[in-house]
Amino acid sequence: MRRRLALPLAAAVLSLPTALLTATQATAAPADKPQVLSSWTQESAASYNSWVAARGSQGSWTSYGFDWSTDYCSSSPDNPFGFPFQTSCARHDFGYRNYKAAGQFEANKARLDSAFYADLKRVCAAYSGAQKASCDGTAWTYYHAVDIFGVDGQKGGGAKSAA
């Protein structure tokens, strides 16, 4: 009778480290997380489009542990004067929150803010004449707000004070 219990018990005890190791590996972020984060937070339209596609399929990126939360343009209008800045603000939040979580915010802040401005300028490129001038001026104001005030850590460490 002891043998019948001892064998399954020994097998269970021996398999425990393997099960724990597998569980730990499953919760660890993939090694390329910094590269993926960097690729989604560059100034280029390709970077922006890749991030938008990934945001639309967040479930595919669960193992990376990215923070997708956003308050969009914080206390500023998300679509000032009808200009759709909301997605640009969401990507900026993504960069702020994830670089802060990685302890790499200060080293990347200027690039994140420049990418934000590039995103806003792409929004403005859809307009012409006085509307484009108004959009460009608003984009510049939003960019300057995050450039100057975008270091506060409210709402999970990624919100901007004025954009």
DSSP the chain: -HHHHHHHHHHHHHHHHHHHHHHHHHHSPPTTHHHHHHHTTSSSHHHHHHHHHHHHTGGGGGGGT------TTTTS-SSGGG---HHHHHHHHHHHHHHHHTT-HHHHHHHHHHHHHHHHHHHHTT--HHHHHHHHHHHHHHHHHHHHHTT--HHHHT--S--
- Pair of tokens at residue 162: 């004025």
Residue 144 annotated to the active site: no
- Report how far residue 9's alpha carbon sits from residue 7's, in angstroms, rounded to the nearest whole number: 5
Catalytic residue among 92, 100, 109, 160: 92
Cβ distance 112 to 99 under 8 Å? yes
> Catalytic amino acids?
92
